[in-house]
Amino acid sequence: MKVKKVTQYFSSDFSVNTYVVIDKQDCILIDPGLMSQELKEFIKNYNLKFILLTHGHYDHFGGIKDLNVPIYINEFDKILLEDTNYNYAHMFNDVVDLSDKEIILIKDEDEIKFNDITIKSINTPGHSKGSSCYFIDNCVFTGDTLFVESIGRTDLYSGNSKMIMKSLEILKTLVKSNDIIYPGHGGRAKFSIVKKMNYYLK
C-alpha cells in the first residue's frame, strides 16, 4: 500500500524533524522531539496508533511523555531510554520517565504493520548502536544516520564511526534512487540527489 501522506514538523528547540505518517483517519509519529502546540492540535484530527523512534536520544523522543501509545525502538537503544546520561535529557534539564509506557523492542529487518502498510526496520548503527531507518513504501526515515548533506555524529554513547560507514553502505544497496530521504535534521530529498550532495556517500 502507498503511504497516503507524510507531514513534517520542525522543532526549533532541537532543530529536529518529527514526521506524521497518515493513512485515512489513522496516523503514526516518527521521532516526536518537543511536541509543539501546532503538532498536538494536528494529531487530534487522527487516531494515533504508535510511535517509531529512529534512536534513543532525548531530542528525538522528548515529546513522548504526553502520549499513551506503543513506542517502537531497536533493542540496542533500550538503555538510552532508561538513562538520562545516555539519552542526554539532563542537558535540557529534563527527565523523561517512560516506565508507564509500552516499549516494543525491535530487531534488524523486523516488519511493523500500520493498517495495510508494512514498515521495515533496518538497524543502522553508528550514531548509536540501535539507530534504525524505517522504510515505508518509497519513504526512508533515516533519523541521525543520514542527512541530505552529511551524517550524524558518532562521538556520543554507543556511537561508532566505523559502524556508521558500514551502515551507509547498507543503505546504498537498499535505497532506490527515487526514494525520498526523511532525515532527523534538515531538509528531505530524493536519494539520487543525496548521493550527489553527500560526501559520505561518494
Domain boundaries, the chain: 5-201
Question: pLDDT for 178-201, tens place per residue?
Answer: 999 999 999 999 999 999 999 999
The number of angstroms, rounded, from the C-alpha of 189 to the middle of its chain's C-alpha atoms is 16
pLDDT tens digits, residue range 9-65? 877 666 899 999 999 999 999 999 888 889 999 999 999 999 999 999 999 999 988
Cα separation, 24 vs 47, in Å, equals 9
- 132-167: per-residue pLDDT in tens? 999 999 999 999 999 999 999 999 999 999 999 999
Residues paired with 6 in a beta bridge: 21
Which grid cell is 149?
A: 548533506
Q: For the domain made up of 5-201, give the CATH fold.
A: Metallo-beta-lactamase; Chain A (3.60.15)
* Cα-trace Rg, the chain: 16
- The pTM score is 0.96
User: Which pLDDT tens digit goes with each residue over 93-140?
Assistant: 888 888 899 999 999 999 999 999 999 999 999 999 999 999 999 999
16, 59 Cβ separation under 8 angstroms? yes
Q: Using CA atoms, how far apart are residues 179 and 138, in angstroms rounded to an integer?
A: 5
74: amino acid identity, one letter:
N
Residue 45: the pLDDT is: 94
Closest CA relative to residue 45, chosen from 69, 76, 24 = 24
